[in-house]
Structure 1
Amino acid sequence: MPVTINDIAKKAGVSLATVSRVLNDSGYVKQETREKILSVIKELNYTPSAIARSLSTSKTNTIGVIVPEISNPFFGEVIKGISDVADENGLNIILFDSNESMEKEIKALKVLKEQRIQGILIASTSVEDKFNSEYIVTIETMGIPIVLVDGHVTHANFSGVFVDNIKGAYEGTEALIKAGHKKIGVITGRMNSIPAQDRLLGYKKALTINNIPINDKYILTGNYKLETAYKKMKELIRMEDRPTAVFACSNMMTIGCIKALQEEKLKIPEDMAILGFDKNDVLDMLGMNISNVVGPTIELGRASMEMLIEYLNHKHSKELRRITLLPELVLKGSERYIPKK
């Protein structure tokens, strides 16, 4: 049986409150009594649990992290950055996967509040076309610091760290244009999310600046999922006047596009060029050399955690802050334009 503070109190002949004051170094305890209690603690080899400490101090050494899709390598790297900084600062993390469900996100927030955590990092699924009063009330009454991780909470303002998605999509699309493409398709993310809207804006901006008409039939709405991108790519392939290149707006959608091209026996870039958004280690390991716009994922996690720690240390406590990180264009040849003979 594990040793409890009740055991310590009985053996030392003192009250539970006195043992609690010694364990938490709070309140006055006579030196003689303190030494006796510490001697009993050593004798019984007692180690106070984090939960027990939190009940007396109303605070744990834990940070809550909520992401929409833990299986996505993008969030895996973000979590690594968060975890690295947490370890450096002696903090623990509790991780929740909302599966892009606002209801699950609300549930996670409520659980974290009950756990008396210090703060929250959240890649929110809150979207601007869906007002949820329960969500807004829940997140605004947490009473602890909250930092957004490349996500947005509609109808509420929080500090956060973001990726410049407009710039990334602009540079990716412009790379295809510079390679010689004029008919460029795009498969977007969920269009009720700000990052997806920004990536589409970047795509359109590149076309407009380079005097290429925007063809609405080349703009297909996806949802960041592999399966959806696979279906959308099939639609592009079967168009009578199909595009010569496609910009896929996420790493998983890039894989879906490639799957569709391979099934149709189409070569990259000979039959269709492709450029994706976000790093794709799986494709790199397979030697596929797919060009992409690489978001600073680990840095995104690190910067978010560092910002939260600053709030926990009462720095910038009343200041709304936004940090924007720049993505990097990495060309590997899949963007090339190869004219038909």
Structure 2
Amino acid sequence: MNIKKIAQLSGVSVATVSRVINEKGNVSDATKRKVNAIIEKYNYVPNINAINLSKNESNYIAVLVPDITNSFFGQIIDGITKVINQKGYHLILLNSDENIDIEVSHLRALGQYNLAGIFYTPVHRVNSLSTGLVQKYNKAGMPFVYIDRDLEDIENSGVYVDNFKGAYQATQYLINKNCKRIGAITGLHNTKPGLERYCGFIKALEDYHVNADELLIKTGDFKFDSGYKLTKELMESSTAPDAIFVMNNLMALGSIKYAVENKVDLTNDLTLICFDNLEMFQWFELPISYVDRPTTEMGQVAAELMLKKIKGIESEKFENIVLKTQLIINE
């Protein structure tokens, strides 16, 4: 079924059907009812992309994130939609699953659509294929807004948090609790948050003259399984820590699973602190402190940046907004 067939069955011109679909132009109520009845009968869905191209505009904005299972990104998306839906825009959601090949495939596919803009959280900071595609989009005038992460060689407006300070404060908290063997499960260092949190952790240890034992520092991938595996490695080593700073919430879930399975007392035997909140910390009254981020606000700020770019009213070529974190103590 296509627009020509709808026109034939309705006994009107293609132009009239187009006006009914787009709700533009002068069409009598009787004709509208007749055309809409045919559309409904045959479950006809207009090609939105073709309609947008014909109007040289789009109401669709894509968001490409690395892990849709992480509640952090769900809250970001909630913040985005709170803003853009009020302005008549709709969101197309894509998940790269922390996989560069999937990310590149999605970026290529987005070039086939007429989009108003793209929200983007890269898997890695340095990736020639993603960088090349983003460069092409930028040259074509496609509005881009980074969220949480960026590409090292391509400037675009973005919204971030102060990962360094948040990690510093979390480590400072463990030191002030008189933890002697402080371990860490970091995120990927080739991402902005992974590197900045690691640097904040190391800087706090240096400032307080605490030994940064390399045997107690493990590099994870921001996912549950690595949190479990690396906690197991730390706790079953000859130099087991008395505290672990887990640098994202999903890895922290893996750490909690290990602790529960092995009856590790998170009050007396091991102190866990992580970056990012999970509601289950409150639901089950877990004694886990965390660095909280204003996630919904991040999405809202990113959406406001995007709307300014779409309308061409940015005050500067690039705006990088860094929001504050907050250390939440649960004991």
User: Corresponding residue for 1:245?
Assistant: 243
User: Corresponding residue for 1:163?
Assistant: 161
Identify the range of structure 1 (146-155 vs 234-243) with the bigger mean alpha-carbon deviation: 234-243
Identify the range of structure 1 (77-86 vs 244-253) with the bigger mean alpha-carbon deviation: 77-86
1:136 corresponds to 2:135 = no
Pairwise CA RMSD of aligned residues? 2.6
Deviation at 1:299, TM superposition (A): 1.0
CA contact (8 A) 2:144 2:306 kept: yes
Query: Structure 1 53/203 Cα, relative in aligned 2: closer, same or farther at 3 Å?
Result: same
CA distance in 2, matches of 1:18, 1:43: 12
CA contact (8 A) 1:124 1:153 kept: yes
Superimposed CA distance per residue, residues 320-341 of structure 1 (whole angstroms, 9 cap, x where no aligned partner): 11000111100011xxxxxxxx
User: Corresponding residue for 2:171?
Assistant: 173
Letter in 2 for 1:75: F
User: Corresponding residue for 1:85?
Assistant: 83
Letter in 1 for 2:7: D
Identity rate, percent: 31
CA contact (8 A) 1:174 1:206 kept: yes
Match of 2:286 among 272, 288, 297: 288
Query: Structure 1 88/25 Cα, relative in aligned 2: closer, same or farther at 3 Å?
Result: closer
CA distance in 1, matches of 2:308, 2:31: 35
1:305 corresponds to 2:276 = no
Deviation at 1:111, TM superposition (A): 2.3
Deviation at 1:90, TM superposition (A): 1.5
- Say which SS state the counterpart of residue 141 (structure 1) adopts: helix
Superimposed CA distance per residue, residues 61-83 of structure 1 (whole angstroms, 9 cap, x where no aligned partner): 01001001101111111111112
Report the count of equivalent residues.
Answer: 320
After superposition, residues 188-337 of structure 1 pair within 5 angstroms as 188-316=186-314, 319-333=317-331
Letter in 2 for 1:274: L
Letter in 2 for 1:215: D
Letter in 2 for 1:169: A
CA contact (8 A) 1:284 1:290 kept: no
- Say which SS state the counterpart of residue 171 (structure 1) adopts: helix
User: Corresponding residue for 1:111?
Assistant: 109
- Say which SS state the counterpart of residue 168 (structure 2) adopts: helix
Deviation at 1:156, TM superposition (A): 1.3
Superimposed CA distance per residue, residues 163-221 of structure 1 (whole angstroms, 9 cap, x where no aligned partner): 11101100111111111223210000112212111001111111111121221111111
Query: Structure 1 125/215 Cα, relative in aligned 2: closer, same or farther at 3 Å?
Result: same
Identify the range of structure 1 (1-10 vs 294-303) with the bigger mean alpha-carbon deviation: 1-10
Letter in 2 for 1:249: M
Letter in 1 for 2:212: I
Query: Structure 1 118/317 Cα, relative in aligned 2: closer, same or farther at 3 Å?
Result: farther
Query: Structure 1 137/18 Cα, relative in aligned 2: closer, same or farther at 3 Å?
Result: farther
CA distance in 2, matches of 1:59, 1:80: 24
Identify the range of structure 1 (199-208 vs 52-61) with the bigger mean alpha-carbon deviation: 52-61
TM-score (norm 1): 0.85
Query: Structure 1 114/265 Cα, relative in aligned 2: closer, same or farther at 3 Å?
Result: same
- Say which SS state the counterpart of residue 162 (structure 1) adopts: strand
What are structure 1's unaligned runs of at least 5 residues?
27-33, 334-341
Deviation at 1:2, TM superposition (A): 8.2
User: Corresponding residue for 2:52?
Assistant: 54
Query: Structure 1 165/148 Cα, relative in aligned 2: closer, same or farther at 3 Å?
Result: same
CA distance in 2, matches of 1:104, 1:293: 30
Larger radius of gyration: 1
CA distance in 2, matches of 1:226, 1:52: 41
CA distance in 2, matches of 1:18, 1:280: 53
Superimposed CA distance per residue, residues 301-335 of structure 1 (whole angstroms, 9 cap, x where no aligned partner): 111111101111111176111000111100011xx
CA contact (8 A) 2:62 2:92 kept: yes
CA contact (8 A) 1:63 1:119 kept: yes
Letter in 2 for 1:328: Q
